[in-house]
Structure formats: structure tokens, C-alpha cells
């Protein structure tokens, strides 16, 4: 919001300020994404396609991206870290991305 407000105070139109803020957000998200583990990255990629998923399906799609099996413990650990970092939401035994901009990492 502060980026948007600053841009508007500089005379940017609503749409231009919104576009600029989206560009900034994408840069930040891609930077954050690159610092995540391989398993965390693939979980985000899977959810960016699936939108919402149960654990079993999310794990299968993630393994499909990697073209290898992922141990349950490893998958659970990566998933819990993403939940704790407020990147993924777990609700009613389903997982989804909290910030829709994370879907750009497909």
C-alpha cells in the first residue's frame, strides 16, 4: 500500500501505480521464491496450478514435477515451513496459496 500511495503522490494514475506495484511485488516474490528449498518451490508450483489441494494430491503433483518420489517426512517438513511463513494456507484439510501473486512462478 505504501508503494501505491507514494506513486500516486508522485502523480501516477491509478492504473500505472497499480502496474508498478505489481512489478515490484513480482520482483520480491521471485526473490523470495529463489531462496526456498527445491521441495518448497515445487509445492508452490503445484498449488499455482491446482489452486487448492488435499495433501495426497499435492504430493503426487509435486513428485510429478520433480520426476521422483519425495519422502513423506521431507514433504511434510517443507509444507509446514510454507504454512509457518504464511505462503500457504491449510483450511479444512486443503492447501492453497495465500498470495495469488505466487502463481507467477509456474
User: Cα–Cα distance between 26 and 11 in angstroms, integer?
Assistant: 22
For domain 37-105, which architecture applies?
A: Orthogonal Bundle (1.10)
pTM of the entire predicted model: 0.81
Q: Length of the chain, please?
A: 106
Which residue is listed with cell 500500500? Answer: 1
What pLDDT score does 105 carry? Answer: 64
Indicate the domain borders of the chain: 2-33, 37-105
**Which residues does 75 contact at the CB level (< 8 Å), separation at least 6?**
39, 43, 59, 62
Quote the crossing angle between the two packed helices 38-50 and 72-84, to the nearest 10°: 70
The per-residue pLDDT for range 15-64, each reduced to its tens digit, is 998 888 888 888 888 888 888 999 999 999 999 999 899 999 999 999 99
**Cα angle, residue 73 at apex, residues 69 and 79 outer, rounded to 5°:** 90
Amino acid at each position: 500500500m505504501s508503494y501505491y500511495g507514494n506513486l500516486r503522490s508522485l502523480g501516477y494514475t491509478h492504473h500505472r501505480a497499480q502496474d508498478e506495484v505489481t512489478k515490484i511485488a513480482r520482483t520480491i516474490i521471485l526473490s523470495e521464491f529463489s531462496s526456498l528449498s527445491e521441495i518448497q518451490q515445487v509445492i508452490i508450483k503445484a498449488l499455482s496450478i491446482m489452486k487448492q489441494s488435499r495433501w495426497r494430491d499435492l504430493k503426487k503433483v509435486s513428485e510429478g514435477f520433480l520426476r521422483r518420489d519425495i519422502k513423506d517426512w521431507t514433504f511434510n517438513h517443507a509444507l509446514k515451513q510454507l504454512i509457518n511463513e504464511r505462503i500457504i494456507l491449510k483450511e479444512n484439510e486443503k492447501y492453497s496459496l495465500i498470495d495469488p501473486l505466487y502463481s507467477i512462478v509456474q
